[in-house]
Amino acid sequence: MTDEIVKQFPLLQRQQDGKRLVYLDSAATTQRPQTVLDAVRDFYEQNNANPHRGVYALGERATAAYEDARTEVASFLNAPREEVIFTRNATETLNLIAYSWGLQNLKAGDKVAVTILEHHSNLIPWQQVCRATGAQLIFLYTGPDGLLSDREIEQKITKEVKLVAFTHVSNVLGMVTPVEKITARAHEVGALCVLDCAQSAPHLRLDVAKLGVDFLAFSGHKLYAPLGIGVLWGRKELLEAMPPFLTGGDMIESVREQDATWAPLPEKFEAGTQNAGGAVGLAAAIRWMQGIGFDTIARREQVVYRYAWQALSHVPHVKLYGTPSGEHAGAIAFNVEGAHPHDVASILDADAVCVRAGHHCAQPLLHHLGMTACCRASFAVYNTCADVDALVESLQKVRKWLGYGA
Ligand SMILES: Cc1ncc(COP(=O)(O)O)c(C=O)c1O
Closest C-alpha among 118, 120, 100, 102 to residue 110: 102
Domain harbouring 203, CATH code: 3.40.640.10
Looking at the domain assignment, is residue 385 inside a domain?
Answer: yes
Looking at the domain assignment, is residue 405 inside a domain?
Answer: no
pLDDT computed for residue 1 by the predictor: 44
Interval 314-326: pLDDT, tens: 999 999 999 998 8
Query: Among 219, 227, 275, 365, which is best to mutate for testing ligand 1, by the most ligand atoms less than 8 A from CB?
Result: 219
Q: What is the mean pLDDT of residues 62-82?
A: 98
**Does 199 sit in the ligand 1 pocket, CB within 6 Å?**
yes
Looking at 251, 271, 290, which one is the last position of a domain? 290
CA distances to 68, 96, 206, 273, 280 from 268, in Å: 18, 12, 24, 13, 20
Atom of ligand 1 nearest to the CA of 94: 4
Whether residue 305 sits in one domain with residue 256: no
> How many domains does the chain fold into?
2
Query: Among 25, 91, 115, which is best to mutate for testing ligand 1, by the most ligand atoms less than 8 A from CB?
Result: 91
Looking at the domain assignment, is residue 213 inside a domain?
Answer: yes
Whether residue 301 sits in one domain with residue 277: no
Q: Of residues 361, 374, 375, 385, which has the active-site annotation?
A: 361
Confidence tier at 52 by pLDDT (50, 70, 90): very high
Looking at 247, 270, 290, which one is the last position of a domain? 290
Looking at 290, 325, 357, which one is the last position of a domain? 290
pLDDT computed for residue 405 by the predictor: 75
CA of 269 to the centre of ligand 1 (A): 20
361 is catalytic: yes
Looking at the domain assignment, is residue 371 inside a domain?
Answer: yes
Q: Is the pLDDT of residue 250 over 70?
A: yes
CA of 94 to the centre of ligand 1 (A): 10
Looking at the domain assignment, is residue 338 inside a domain?
Answer: yes
Whether residue 187 sits in one domain with residue 144: yes
Whether residue 167 sits in one domain with residue 54: yes
Q: Is the pLDDT of residue 83 over 90?
A: yes
Confidence tier at 406 by pLDDT (50, 70, 90): low
Mean pLDDT of the chain: 96
Query: From atom 7 of ligand 1, which residue's Cα is the shortest distance away?
Result: 90
What are the DSSP calls for 106-175, one per residue?
Answer: --TT-EEEEETT--GGGTHHHHHHHHHHT-EEEEEPP-TTSPPPHHHHHHHS-TTEEEEEEESB-TTT-B
Domain harbouring 361, CATH code: 3.90.1150.10
Atom of ligand 1 nearest to the CA of 221: 10
CA of 265 to the centre of ligand 1 (A): 25
CA of 234 to the centre of ligand 1 (A): 18
Q: Residue 146 belongs to what domain range?
A: 37-290
**Does 170 sit in the ligand 1 pocket, CB within 6 Å?**
no
Atom of ligand 1 nearest to the CA of 196: 3
